Amino acid sequence: MPAAQGFFPPKTATGRASLIPAPPWHYSGDLLTVEYRTDPARVRELLPEPLDLAADDPGAVALIWADWQSCGDSKAELLDPVRAQYKECFAVVRCGYRGRTYSRCVYIWVDKDFAVARGIHQGYPKKLGSIHLTRPHPFGPAPRIEAGAAFGATLAAADRRLAQAVVTLREPAATNGFVNAHPMAHHRQLPSIDGKGLALDELVATGAASFEGGQAWSGEAELDLFDAPTEELAALKVLEPIGAYYRQVGVVWDGGTLLERGL
């Protein structure tokens, strides 16, 4: 009998039904980023041991909308776009671990099952949601990437709107923000089958194996967060705006490193 194959379930004799291919994973996308400050105590609540608040600007948050095309090494998904295209919205904070600053995704919503599966592998806390953002285009009524261009973005989950933003571009920028600019410190955890403890408990560091990006633009944002029965994003209340950014990027993800295992 042939061995079951595939990087991720379901595993079969051919591996063709696997939900996601093995890394590396390649991404092309448009990122709309809104950065602001919240109460650092609300950030601290989301950092399990051994992580702590970042030493500098501990209440800084980035809420990022992304419109992605992604694929494995074969790039076959790009010619079958339903397997390549998805959108996500994620909240990032910064944290400290052994004297180094890391970024950490504390909430994230995606609109495709394969993106959820990748998140399970990477340690992102992905949930299904409805995500939309204005796409630029050089013709017609869509905004160009230029001063004065306005982009809208919305996030909903379980039929409730969780966030909405309008970003107006003002000028070219050196970066598209600082909150999501560090390696990610994530937990990969899986409860034991008997419900007692964890079968998998790893703190890992991950980041882009390679990166390329277009010209970043900065501007200002109007951002609203909404409470919902099964979501807590609104607890990261906007106390002070920092800035807003738009950038087109290309990224390759090819694994991470183990920082420590739970006892």
> Residue 11: exposed, middle, or buried by beta-carbon count in 10 A (0-12, 13-18, 19+)?
middle
Distance, CA of 77 to CA of 82 (rounded, Å): 8
CB 66 within 8 A of CB 30: yes
Q: Residue 186 CB: number of other CB atoms within 10 A? A: 22
Distance, CA of 250 to CA of 28 (rounded, Å): 4
**Closest Cα to residue 32, out of 237, 220, 258?**
220
CB 170 within 8 A of CB 226: no
Residue stretches of the chain with pLDDT short of 70: 1, 263
pLDDT of residue 2: 73
Amino acid at 102: Y
CB 149 within 8 A of CB 168: yes
Q: Which residue has the tokens 């420590």?
A: 260
**Closest Cα to residue 155, out of 108, 200, 117, 94?**
108
pTM to 2 decimals?
Answer: 0.97
CA angle 41-45-46, nearest 5°? Answer: 125
Burial pattern 42-55, b for ≥16 Cβ within 10 A else e, equals bbeebbeeebebbe
CB 144 within 8 A of CB 196: no
